[in-house]
Chain A
Amino acid sequence: MIRVLKHWIRSAPTARCALSGAALCACVAVVSAGQSANRGGISQEVRSQVRQAIASIGLLSVRNTSDASPAPRPRGSSVIVRSDGVLVTNHHVITNTRTGRPYDEIFLTLSSDGEMSPSSARYRLKLLLINKDFDLALLRVVADAAGTPIPKSFTFPTIAIGDSRRIRVLEDLFIIGFPEGGGSTVTVNRGVVEGKDILANWIKTDARVIRGNSGGAAVSGEGQLIGIPTKVVADEQPVDRDGDGFPDDSRKYGAVGFLRPSHLVKEMLAQIGDEDAAGAPAPAPPKQVELPALVTVRGIVRSSGGKPVAGALVGLVPLGEGTVTESTLLTWGSTNAEGAFKLNKPVPPGRYTLKAKAIANEPYSSDVEIGPSASSLIVEMRSLTVR
C-alpha cells in the first residue's frame, strides 16, 4: 500500500481518521419518546383490513412449574398464522432470560381484552420450532387452559402472510400487539417503513414499538402480516447536568423499531410442514433452525480480450432487482491490479443479480448463482473505447 506523506524531506507522521459509532440496542425494552405521531387519513377499507387482522393477534403469558403463583404472567404478543393454531412470536418472549430456557408453560389469550379475558379464552401452547438467530419461534395450540385437547375441527382466526420482500420505504404499516404501556389490551398504532436491511433481515419503522409488542404483528394496509416487532434501537445520549464533566443522566432522542420480515415466518412454516398439525400425537422437543452458512464471494473481472480490469466496482443485489440503491445493495467490492475482487460482506447461498461498473467499460448486469461453498465469479466487461 502507499500513503501520502506531507513532507518527504523529513517524514511527518500522518494523521489517521478513525470513525466510530455507537448504537444502544435493547430488546423491545425502551420506551421511545415521540416516535410516531397520530396520523389521520386512513381509508375505511384499510381500517377494516387492519381490524380483521386484530382477531389473529394474541397475548402470550408464561409460568414455570416452580412459580408460587398459579397465574401466568404476560410476556408479549403472538400472531396466529395457520388455522390449526400454529402461531409465531419472538424467541425472547417465551424464553426465561435468567436460564435461557423456554418457560414450562406458555399460554395464548385470544381476545382483544388481553389479560383481562376470562380463562376460557386461554389456550396452552406447545413449542414447535425456534430460530435463535432471527429471534423467532413457532408454537401450536394443543389444549384449552384446563388441559382439554382442542378438536381437529377447530379453526383459529389467521392472518395472511404478505410478501415482505416487496414492501417499499415509506409504505404504511400498523403495529398490533399487547404493549405494557397500553395496559396489556390489544393496541394498534401506525407508522411507515423507514428502511430495509435485506442482508441482516430487518425492516425499520418509526411506528411505536415497546415492551409487550415483541412477537406481535406489523401489518400492511391490506391487513397482511409483513413483520414481527422484535427490538428497538434507541438513541440515548449522556447528559452532564451539574457540569462536572461526568454524565449523571441520559436523554433519549428517539428510537427505531426493528421488525423481522414475514418471509422468515413463511420459511419456518415450510420447515414444519403439516406434520405438526393440531391433533398430531407425540409431543417432540422443539427443533432449532439451522441457518445456511454465509458465503464469501470472490471473482475476477476481465475485458472481452481476457485482460484483468483493475478498479471495477462489483456488487450484488436481490435477484431481478433493476436498480441499485442503499437498501438493495447487499455487498460490494472493487478489483485490484489482477482484476480480482472480494465482496465486503458474505451472503447466504442463492441467486442474485450481479452489477459491475468500471471506467471506460459498459455497465454489466447478470444473474448469478452463489453456491454453498466459497464462490468465485468471472465477469467479462465490454469496452466503451472509441478510436
Chain B
Amino acid sequence: MKAIVRLTLAVLLFCGLITPSMDAGQKPPQKPGEASRARGLFVNKKSDAMSILVLKLVDGTMVPVNPSTEFKAGDNIKIQFQSNFEGYIYVVNIEPNGKRKLLFPQPDAANNAVSPGERYDIPPGTAAIEFDKEVGTEVLQVIMSRSRIPYLDAALKEPEQYLSASVATAAAELGGGITKKVTPVVPAGDGTNKVRSRDIILAPGKDKDTEGSVVAIPDNGSGGKLKAGEIAPFEIRLKHR
C-alpha cells in the first residue's frame, strides 16, 4: 500500500487549502494516489471525510471555483460541503486582523448536525458571503467532530458571533475553565489530551469540479473514524486582494 501523505494539523493544516495550488509557498507534499485515496475513503466511508466546494457568484449563478482564486471586494461566495459521517461541522472565520467569528452554525440556523450524503451550504439558502474592502487572507477553519463543541456553541450568543470578544469569554477559553457563559474549550484543561486532532489527507478540487476538494482521515493504525474527544480541523485560505 502506498504511503499516505499526512498533513499534520498541528498548524491546523496549511493544506494550501483545499487546493495545493492555492498558495505555492505552503504547498503540501503530494504523492501519487493521495487524491484518489482520499476520494475513495470519502465514497466507501471507511474513514470520516467530507467534500468542500467553494462557489462564487458569476452572472447571477453560483459556480464552483478554485479556492486559490484571488477574490475582490464585492465578490459573493458560498461554501458547500457534504460529509460521509454523522456528526457536527463548525466553520470559524479568522479575519486578517486575527479576530475569530463563528460562520457556521449561525443563530438563525443553529443546527450544524450533519448526516451522510446531505449537501449543506454556508450560509444556507439564498444568503452569501461577501468580501468587503478589507483585504488579506481570510482563513476558514473547518472542524469535523462527532459531538458538539461547547465553546464554539457559546459564540452563538456573542455579538456577531465573535469568539473571545469579552474578557469573560477570553479568560474562559484561555483558562479552559467553566464560566457562566462558556464551558470547556478545545483542548480542555492544561496539558490534557482530552481533545485531540486527527491527521487528514487531501484531494484538491479544481475549477468547475462539482465534487470539490475532499478531506479524509487516513484509515491507518488508529482507524479512520473520529472517536469521542477527537476533532479533525483543517483550513480553507481565501485570498482577498
Contact, CB under 8 Å: A332 / B174? yes
16 A-B pairs with C-beta separation under 8 A: A8-B130, A310-B139, A313-B164, A315-B170, A323-B177, A326-B167, A329-B171, A336-B97, A336-B137, A337-B94, A357-B185, A359-B197, A360-B9, A363-B189, A381-B10, A386-B197
Q: Which positions 190-205 of chain B face chain A at CB distance < 8 Å?
A: 190-191, 193, 195-199
Which residues of the other chain, A, contact B57 by a CB distance below 8 angstroms? 8
Q: A8-B57, A360-B12, A383-B10 are in contact. List 15 more A-B contacts (CB 8 A).
A: A1-B97, A1-B136, A2-B131, A4-B127, A5-B128, A8-B127, A310-B12, A337-B96, A337-B139, A359-B197, A365-B190, A383-B11, A384-B196, A386-B196, A386-B199
Q: Does B44 contact A (CB under 8 A)?
A: no
Query: Least Cβ distance of A150 to chain B in Å?
Result: 48
Q: Does A201 contact B (CB under 8 A)?
A: no
* Chain A residue with Cβ nearest B175: A324
Query: Least Cβ distance of B153 to chain A in Å?
Result: 14
* Chain B residue with Cβ nearest A10: B126
Closest 7 CB pairs of A and B: A383-B10, A8-B128, A360-B197, A324-B175, A307-B11, A337-B137, A1-B134
Which residues of the other chain, A, contact B141 by a CB distance below 8 angstroms? 310-311, 359
Query: Least Cβ distance of B201 to chain A in Å?
Result: 11
Query: Least Cβ distance of B93 to chain A in Å?
Result: 6
Contact, CB under 8 Å: B98 / A335? yes
* Chain B residue with Cβ nearest A1: B134
Which residues of the other chain, A, contact B123 by a CB distance below 8 angstroms? 4
CA distance A164 to B196 in the complex (A): 40
Which residues of the other chain, B, contact A3 by a CB distance below 8 angstroms? 129-130, 132
Q: Does A361 contact B (CB under 8 A)?
A: yes
CA distance A5 to B143 in the complex (A): 23
Q: Does B147 contact A (CB under 8 A)?
A: no
Contact, CB under 8 Å: B130 / A2? yes
Residue in contact with B190 in the complex, picked from A4, A311, A328, A363, CB distance below 8 Å:
A363
Among listed A58-66, A217-225, A338-346, interface-contacting one: A338-346
Q: Which positions 286-342 of chain A face chain B at CB distance < 8 Å?
A: 302-305, 307-311, 313, 315, 323-326, 328-329, 332-338, 340-342
Q: Does B235 contact A (CB under 8 A)?
A: yes
Q: Does A99 contact B (CB under 8 A)?
A: no
Contact, CB under 8 Å: A1 / B95? yes
Contact, CB under 8 Å: A313 / B170? yes
Q: Does B60 contact A (CB under 8 A)?
A: yes
CA distance A19 to B11 in the complex (A): 34
Contact, CB under 8 Å: A7 / B190? no
Which residues of the other chain, B, contact A311 by a CB distance below 8 angstroms? 12, 92, 94, 100, 139, 141
CA distance A282 to B61 in the complex (A): 85
Which of A2, A365, A382 lies at the interface centre, i.e. has the most chain B CB atoms within 10 A of its CB?
A: A2
Q: Does B187 contact A (CB under 8 A)?
A: yes
Which residues of the other chain, A, contact B235 by a CB distance below 8 angstroms? 310
* Chain B residue with Cβ nearest A341: B98
Contact, CB under 8 Å: B9 / A385? yes
Which residues of the other chain, B, contact A338 by a CB distance below 8 angstroms? 137
Contact, CB under 8 Å: B171 / A337? no
Contact, CB under 8 Å: A334 / B94? yes
Q: Does A68 contact B (CB under 8 A)?
A: no
Which residues of the other chain, B, contact A1 by a CB distance below 8 angstroms? 95-97, 131-132, 134, 136, 138, 240
Q: Does A38 contact B (CB under 8 A)?
A: no
CA distance A16 to B9 in the complex (A): 35
CA distance A328 to B60 in the complex (A): 51
Which residues of the other chain, B, contact A356 by a CB distance below 8 angstroms? 174
CA distance A361 to B9 in the complex (A): 9
Q: Does B103 contact A (CB under 8 A)?
A: yes
* Chain A residue with Cβ nearest B235: A310
Q: Does B212 contact A (CB under 8 A)?
A: no
Q: Does B112 contact A (CB under 8 A)?
A: no
Query: Least Cβ distance of A204 to chain B in Å?
Result: 14
Query: Least Cβ distance of A346 to chain B in Å?
Result: 15
Residue in contact with A385 in the complex, picked from B76, B159, B196, CB distance below 8 Å:
B196
